Amino acid sequence: MFLSALLIITVILILLYLLKIYYWSGGSFKSDQRLDGKYVIITGANTGIGKATATDLVQRGIICGYYKDRTDKKCFLIGLGAHVILACRDRQRAQTAADDIRNKTGSQNVEIEIVDTSSLESVKSFAIRIRKKLKHLDILINNAVAHMEIQFDDINLEKRYTPLIGYAHSKLANILFTRELAKRLQGTNITANSLHPGVIVTELLRYNEQRIPPFLYPLYSLLKPLAWFFTKNADQGSQTTIRLAVDKKLDGVTGKYFSDCVEVATSSQASDDQAAKRLWEVSEKMTRLKEAENELESKI
């Protein structure tokens, strides 16, 4: 009986491992496309997929190879690579991430800017500094899909809120907002797309452990190891972001939604052009966008 149970468990674990490698890990993007001289801003880049993406883009001016005896790998900086700005809330953690990226890639083209994206004043201050610092910006990556309707009568979820509803509401808003932004940028050479990175083991999930009721924590601790089989690591989760930032084949592609490195269809709620337009208009009023634009121009 014991041997039979052990055999069954072994077979299940092998199957889960194969699913992990060939399915749950998602697609990957392989390209030697260089980003010499490109300026990139990545929000939330001090950890997780933001940091993994930054590391990849910075080293796209670096070539690696082995010595003749193939015992040691050596990397050489042959171009500038991308100049990446890590836009983060915590200065110490951002600086640590920047140092890690410099040490790993050998490139010094990494800097930090402090911004709290939950504060409009902080975002405006950040925008003013960037406009003064950069003559142009090539790539903007916002790290901050769900299937639910936007609650326009309770846009801030003041009447009905749970972490899951809040997460779903914000992610749907991201997709709709990007859809409308792409329309408003038609006729320019600027594209805007959204993506689903997959289920990733990052600090975001670790923070959510604090929300687990104490009486459920023993069960959570028991099941937690199994989560490894169904999740991606940060490098795997960054692949779709990297493809959208780098792949020349996607030049001109805008207003689309990607998952596992390919374009996929969205839900009917996320394809609602009327909702996207309304969300944009509501957001304009809530953020006083016109006033912010005028203030920005007056300070540059």
Active site residues: 167
User: Sign of the C-alpha dihedral, residues 198, 22, 56, 258?
Assistant: negative
Which residues, 6 or more positions from 67, have their beta carbon under 8 angstroms from its beta carbon?
A: 74
State how far the Cα of 244 lies from the Cα of 25, in Å rounded to an integer.
Answer: 18
Q: What are the CA-CA distances from residue 51 to residues 118, 187, 228, 297 (Å)?
A: 20, 32, 20, 31
Question: Angle CA(285)–CA(290)–CA(291) in degrees, nearest 5?
Answer: 100
> What element of type H or E holds 66?
strand 62-66
Q: Which of 108, 121, 115 lies closest to 142, judged by CA?
A: 115
